[in-house]
Amino acid sequence: MKARASSAEPKGAGRYPEPPVGGTTLIVNEIYESIQGEGPGQGFPVVIVRLAGCNFRCSYCDSAFAFFEGQRMDLGRLLDRAGKFKASRVLVTGGEPMVQSGTPALCEALIERGKSVSIETNGSFALDALAREVVKVVDVKLPESGFEGSFNPAVLSGLNGKDVLKFVCASRKDYEYARSFMAEASGKLSAQIFFMPVWNRLDPAELATWILEDGLEARIQLQLHKIIWGDARGV
């Protein structure tokens, strides 16, 4: 299991400016209601809060539009926008939401408003600033992503049974890397393990077969929102 030093700042994190003094603001790409496509909340109605910015450029990224597109909002306005929808669940995603320093405050404020909050993050950032109630879905980047070895090992100790380690596989090479990661981290793993094939790059049947052959204690998921509506933005 290759990993970056836990004290290292993820590359590119300084690209996104700190909020001005006087209150929390975040750069927001989009806010909309949908059916949650992946993670432990898959299938439930959810409000998607997509923040702008990312410190990675994964080869199969399906949200590259969030790298630079966004509008800065103060926290109150953002909460009001998210609160207009009926869903009680909120997913904070990106891009990479943890590049923005206001993300923990956003998650905490949503929880205070009675929302169930989850976050999708790329595994390079420490997550100890997040409220304990937040469900963390942490992506372990595999070779085909182009960011193999970016995982921050300090993240593992902060995960528990409600949280998820996610392995997005584009090839057999990715799968074998993920399997080795699981084996090397076995004594530290308390999170759920999810495997997901890259959309239109790896046959889900192949991935399922490998998991069965190796007897992995892992859940396979497909991106439900794409199955319902296709590979489109805003769904």
Per the model's pLDDT, the better-predicted residue between 88 and 226 turns out to be 88
Query: According to the model, what pLDDT value does residue 23 have?
Result: 72
Compute φ and ψ for 184, nearest 5 degrees: -70, -30
32-90 residue pLDDT tens: 999 999 999 999 999 999 999 999 999 999 999 999 999 999 999 999 999 999 999 99
Between CA 25 and CA 72 the distance in angstroms is: 6
- pLDDT of 160 reads 95
pLDDT tier at 210 (50, 70, 90 boundaries)? very high
pLDDT of 22 > 60? The answer is no
Please say whether the beta carbons of 175 and 204 come within 8 A.
Answer: no
Instruction: Specify which residues 118 forms β-bridges with.
Output: 91, 135
Residue 224 class from Cβ within 10 Å (0-12 exposed, 13-18 middle, 19+ buried)? Answer: middle
| CATH classification code of 13-229 | 3.20.20.70
| Confidence at 18, pLDDT banded by 50, 70, 90 | low
The residue to which tokens 């960011």 are assigned? 147
Give residue-wise pLDDT tens across range 133-190.
999 999 999 999 999 999 999 999 999 999 999 999 999 999 999 999 999 998 888 9
Give percent above pLDDT 70 in the chain: 90
Torsion of CA 225, 204, 59, 13, to 10 degrees: 60
**Nearest residue to 235 (alpha-carbon basis) of 36, 8, 15, 11:** 36
Cα 141 to Cα 90, 119, 135, 137, 218: the distances in Å are 24, 16, 19, 13, 17
Residue 37: per-residue pLDDT: 94
Helix (H) or strand (E) holding 112: helix 103-112
Segment 106-132, tens digit of pLDDT = 999 999 999 999 999 999 999 999 999
Q: Which of 94, 37, 32 is nearest to 226 (CA)?
A: 37
Give the H/E segment covering residue 3.
Answer: none
- pLDDT higher than threshold 50 for residue 26: yes
How far is Cα of residue 4 from the mean position of the Cα atoms in its chain? 18
Question: Which pair of tokens denotes residue 101?
Answer: 């320093």
- pLDDT at site 2: 42
pTM over 0.85: yes
* Residue labelled with tokens 């690209």: 15
> Cis ω on the peptide bond leading into residue 95 (within 30° of 0)?
yes
How high is the pLDDT of residue 16?
53
pLDDT exceeds cutoff 70 at 193: yes
Determine what percent of the chain is predicted with pLDDT higher than 90.
83
Q: Domain locations in the chain?
A: 13-229
Q: What is the pLDDT of residue 208?
A: 98
* CB distance 177 to 146 below 8 Å: no
Give the pLDDT of residue 82. 96
Six token digits for residue 78 = 């953002």
Whole-angstrom CA distances from 198 to 80, 131, 183, 201, 226 are 34, 30, 22, 5, 12
pLDDT of amino acid 145: 97
Q: Are 218 and 211 in contact (CB under 8 A)?
A: yes
